[in-house]
Amino acid sequence: MKNTNEQVQYKILSIDPWLKPFYRDIALRMQRNTDVRRSLIGDAADLSSFANGYMYFGFNRTEDGWVYREWLPGADEVHLFGEFNDWNRSSHPLERIAGGVWEIRLPGADALKHGQLVKIHVRRGEQSFDRIPTYIRRVVRDSSNNFNGQIWYPPKRFFWTDGNYKKRKLTTPVIYEAHIGMAQEREGIGSYREFADYNLDRIAGLGYNTIQLMAIQEHPYYASFGYQVTNFFAASAWYGVPEDLKYLINKAHEKNMFVLLDVVHSHACPNTAEGLNMMDGTEDQYFLPGERGWHQAWGTKCFDYGKHEVLHFLLSNLKFWQEEYHFDGFRFDGVTSMIYHDHALGSNFGSYDQYFSMNTNVEAVTYLQLANELVHAVNPFAITIAEEMSGMPGMCIP
């Protein structure tokens, strides 16, 4: 790895000689990437095999039924409940296994059925509360304006016809950014299928070869434009069912178009009833503790990129959207906010010193390095875009 790092440093220094005074800072970042990567996966070459959290956590079918797992290190008791047990909060306890993980096995293929609503009931100390499973793939709102997780395992699986997925390289992306709900001319919220059937031909006819979709990860507040995510593995129910999103992407691929996900890993919705916040009753399970965990300008929670479990969650999330929905890459939202401890609020970045200071969140930089490596390990032709306004040196170097 040392020789590789030196080669990368030489490349960036040849691109911008003004970085030579910061050679040591760049070398330390590269070494940190190497060290964190090794601590996650050892000396294995395959980062993709590490990012399989969605195959272990959440609801998964087994040979004789179902298994549900959740990482809740701060919890004292966890119960699964929902339509399958008449909303009984005590009849189906989870067992605590290693590493703060809780598990329950439900024998029988019909123990859980497609479309059933589910939640978990968590106790920490004298407090108890309901939560939506973290890796749930669909979340729906009921008549009382409450949100529930929904088992999504349709008997007829979606059949992909996009044979060129992962096989085609796009030399020059010409990107059309769209919000599914706002992309229709009629009054109301548009749907995945409407977008696919009425907009794709028009977009392609205008010369675009790439579509970047906003607001796909589940968010309860529609006016947030999708930037306050609660359920990171759930395709938003605002626009239809998961198969409808697959239909859209499949149809775009049939037209030789790429589809990018506007992914929000820079922060998360502070809601507790729907999102990750206080999942196990602690503030720092997924997020930084105290004031560091609050984005004062956005009123959202800030991830702890130094925690291995958080890296596993976020990297697994990227691979999930590639493998489950065939996204061709990502536009990472809010990267500037991620890579500075003060979120770069009020900074003018008039000096290179501002890129290599105590204000730089090197843990977030390492996460982005790992994320970029992972995305291209899953699909070597994937596109990654950073919404980054400070001009961090090296952000667009592989």
Length of the chain: 398
Lowest mean pLDDT, pick from 34-48, 248-262, 294-308, 337-351: 34-48
Among this protein's residues, is 333 annotated catalytic? yes
Return the SS3 of 233. Answer: strand
If pLDDT is split at 50, 70 and 90, which confidence band does 1 have? very low
Distance (Å, rounded) from C-alpha 63 to C-alpha 141? 31
pLDDT surpasses 80 at 134:
yes
Mean pLDDT of 286-304: 97
DSSP letter at 19 equals G
User: pLDDT digit string (tens) for 72-106?
Assistant: 999 999 999 999 999 999 999 999 999 999 999 99
Among this protein's residues, is 387 annotated catalytic? yes
pLDDT of residue 340: 98
Partners of 129 in the β-ladder = 122
What pTM, to 2 d.p., does this model score? 0.96
Q: Which helix (H) or strand (E) holds 234?
A: strand 231-235
Exactly one of 76, 243, 284, 387 is catalytic; name it: 387
**Which regions of 250-289 does DSSP assign to beta strands (E)?**
258-263
Contact 209, 222 (CB under 8 A): no
DSSP letter at 94 equals P
pLDDT of residue 397: 87
Residue found by looking up tokens 């589809």 in the block: 259
Q: Which helix (H) or strand (E) holds 311?
A: helix 308-325
pLDDT surpasses 70 at 151:
yes
Return the SS3 of 318. Answer: helix
pLDDT of residue 45: 76
Question: How high is the mean pLDDT of the chain?
Answer: 95
Contact 176, 200 (CB under 8 A): no
User: pLDDT digit string (tens) for 175-194?
Assistant: 999 999 999 988 999 999 99
Q: Which helix (H) or strand (E) holds 49?
A: none
If pLDDT is split at 50, 70 and 90, which confidence band does 197 have? very high
pLDDT of residue 144: 82
User: pLDDT digit string (tens) for 207-263?
Assistant: 999 999 999 999 999 999 999 999 999 999 999 999 999 999 999 999 999 999 999
Provide CB contacts within 8 A for 300, sequence distance 6+: 228, 267, 268, 269, 270, 294
Exactly one of 70, 162, 333, 363 is catalytic; name it: 333
User: pLDDT digit string (tens) for 44-69?
Assistant: 778 999 999 999 999 999 999 999 99
pLDDT surpasses 70 at 334:
yes
Tokens of 9: 């440093």
Q: What percent of the chain has pLDDT above 90?
A: 91
pLDDT of residue 2: 45
Q: What angle do CA 379, 382, 388 make, to 5 degrees?
A: 135
First CA to last CA distance, the chain: 15
pLDDT surpasses 90 at 281:
yes
pLDDT of residue 5: 52
Mean pLDDT of 134-148: 93
pLDDT surpasses 50 at 297:
yes
